[in-house]
Chain A
Amino acid sequence: MPELTQYMILSGVPKELIGLILMLPIVATLIAFSREIIGVKGFGIYTSLIIAYAFVGTGLANGVVIFALVLISGTLMRLFIRHFRLLYLPRMAVVLTGVAFTIFLMFIVAAFYHQTEFLKISLFPIIIMIPLVEKFIGAQIERGPQAAITLTVETLVLASLSYLIITWGWLTGLILDWPLAVFPAVLIFNVLLGKWTGLRLTELVRFRELIKYVELSNKQ
């Protein structure tokens, strides 16, 4: 471990915190890569990133359960109040009230069954997941329910992948050994990524009929 990391740890900066900070650009790059090269975008870089970090706080299994419950309760609440014709912000507030109530119930149930692991989860990672509801509803209005579900699944996959990377012991060890190398490496990679103008993998699938047609016409 280099002197810099040792100095920080000895001065009282938690080792996990250093790892989490250094992982941030790496995970952000992963999400950017999946957007530009693969074509999987989820609800954007911020949502996927923050949910990945929420998963770090809750654990993956608990995190996915909370993720699903937040979404389901938010959507049900929205369906329930649809006929009241409320303005946007009060409507969102009602939806969030439904989400809060569900989380409240969740803790009661966990207490009843003595799920001590679950009860140890702090509120913050749960609150972080709430903007997801707004994103989900927005996507539903704009692109329809099917697209909204696709985007949600994409976000969940991206966040879970990011979680696995954040909690990957070998990589954490590596970046603690080379803390200052992370920044230039990620910067260079992203500049190259930002200049990429080729087709995304999903586009190769989307345009398959057209590509087949081009192939046929070239043969003639």
Chain B
Amino acid sequence: MAIPLNYLLNSRGILGINARNQHYIRPSGFKRALRIIDNKLPTKRIMKKAGIPTPETLGVIKSMRDLYRFAWGSLPPSFILKPNRGYTGRGIIIVYGKKKNERFAWVKADRSVLRIRDLQTHIHSILEGDYGKSGLSDIAYFEERLKIAKVFKPYSSRGIPDIRIIMYNKIPVMAQLRLPTSHSEGKANLHLGAIGVGVDMATGITTNAILNNTFIEYIPGTRLSPRGIKIPNWSQILSLAYQSQVATRVNFLGVDIAIDREKGPMVLELNTRPGLAVQVANLAPLGERLERVRGLKVGNAKRAVNIAQDLFGGETEEEVEEVGGKKIIGANELVEIIAGENKKIETIAKIDTGAYRSVVAKTIADAIGLDKIERYKRVRSSLGEEERPIVKAVLKIHGVAIETEVFIADRNEMKKDVIIGRKDLKQFVVDPTKNILIKKT
């Protein structure tokens, strides 16, 4: 198979593993990064010193003696057990709650039961260094498990979502919301089966979602779209990422931030080798962005956040400007046609101010069961006169739901299956130069 030259040219701005390691990780304080960041406990100490909020450490086990003396009763119902030197989520156990009617027994994310003996075996493995890269003996520690923020609750049944910010040269460059799934056992690592969602840098609103490197429109097992979630405290999150980079003095860094329901944003972990799937979820080449901030001098957090929002925000089609309280839409827009519960379809519609009433293709109407015909109306079109059925439907454009009546017509010869007419465009201003790309569904 020959790869067309065009394809290669278009891939130029994308950051690959080779370039990440050579151009960004190595020149960015690599040895320092290894010493500090691959040891989670010292990192937490540095963060604490810099006044950056991190989850509380509940207990540290450095030796077998510590292990046998550990007061198991001091643990809360829900906690996380981590190896100090673990990487890519290895060796982490997330404990979800206490098992009822049994002292010293807990439940994991996958509902399996965990007793002291299991924890001891696991901690023993950690101390032996089974989860570190080098195999040197390690330290195990317990950490508080954050409470999930309300906004994220519907999107993640197990585990806490976190926001990965790619920092370079003290500027937040790209962000990704990571949603744990039951498959990833509550962990937010993409290669373990978590969902990665792109985030608009200006607003903190989510865009495209990927699961195992393919785009998804819904969270598996639900009808929830991961698109359009507004991450709260967005500027504060970007500012925390900036502070973390300043405190560690590592110039290329992935900062993982979670939001606790009560305590707000907290830095969970720092990553010196952040994964590259983030550019797929954002549909934006990372290499290009990194080049744009190379050499910039940034003095404080506010300025860093402003630069990030100006340079990398507002590129997504999710962005909604407003004119006189009306949203601006383009010549083609993504609309959802809803016939009832679980009977809906999303498609690209043509916005047609020359038509009064909206038209839905018969094929679509049949697919979602739009069949309760209210009445018929004679219409004159370029093809002559015909009698068209009218049905009730709900249209959803840019998050705005419109209850209306639409025509059903045969549109097999037409490019778009749906036309939105003036009747349903009262809340919008149409800008014909704005044109969204057809997204993969």
A residues with CB within 8 A of B:
36, 85, 87-89, 141-144, 147, 195-200, 203-204, 206-207, 209-211, 213-218, 220
Contact = CB atoms under 8 A, between A and B. Distances in A.
Contacts, number: 79
Q: 4 closest pairs, A vs B, by CB?
A: A199-B16, A197-B19, A214-B10, A203-B16
Interface stretch (B159-167, B279-287, B344-352): B279-287
A204 B7 contact: yes
A210 B285 contact: yes
B13 interface: yes
Interface residues of B, number: 36
Contact of A85 (B10, B88, B117, B435): B117
A198 B125 contact: no
A207 B192 CA distance: 19
A209 B215 contact: yes
B121 A142 contact: no
B124 interface: yes
Contacts of B125: 87-88
Given A142-B88, A210-B283, A218 B10 contact: yes
A148 B301 CA distance: 42
Nearest to A193: B18
A151 B10 CA distance: 29
A207 B283 CA distance: 10
Interface of B: 3, 6-8, 10-11, 13-14, 16-19, 22-23, 88, 90, 117-118, 121, 124-125, 128, 130, 191-192, 213, 215, 276, 279-280, 283-285, 435, 437, 440
A101 to B, nearest CB: 25
A142 B280 CA distance: 23
Nearest to B277: A206
Contact of A197 (B11, B22, B283, B285): B22
A210 B18 contact: no
Given A206-B213, A210-B14, A215-B10, A87 B128 contact: yes
Contacts of B191: 143, 147
A85 B122 CA distance: 9
Nearest to B23: A197
A183 B118 CA distance: 53
B19 A214 contact: no
Nearest to B215: A209
17 contacts: A85-B121, A142-B90, A147-B191, A197-B16, A197-B18, A199-B18, A200-B17, A203-B17, A204-B7, A209-B440, A210-B284, A211-B7, A214-B10, A214-B11, A214-B285, A217-B437, A218-B10
Nearest to A204: B11
A215 B6 contact: yes
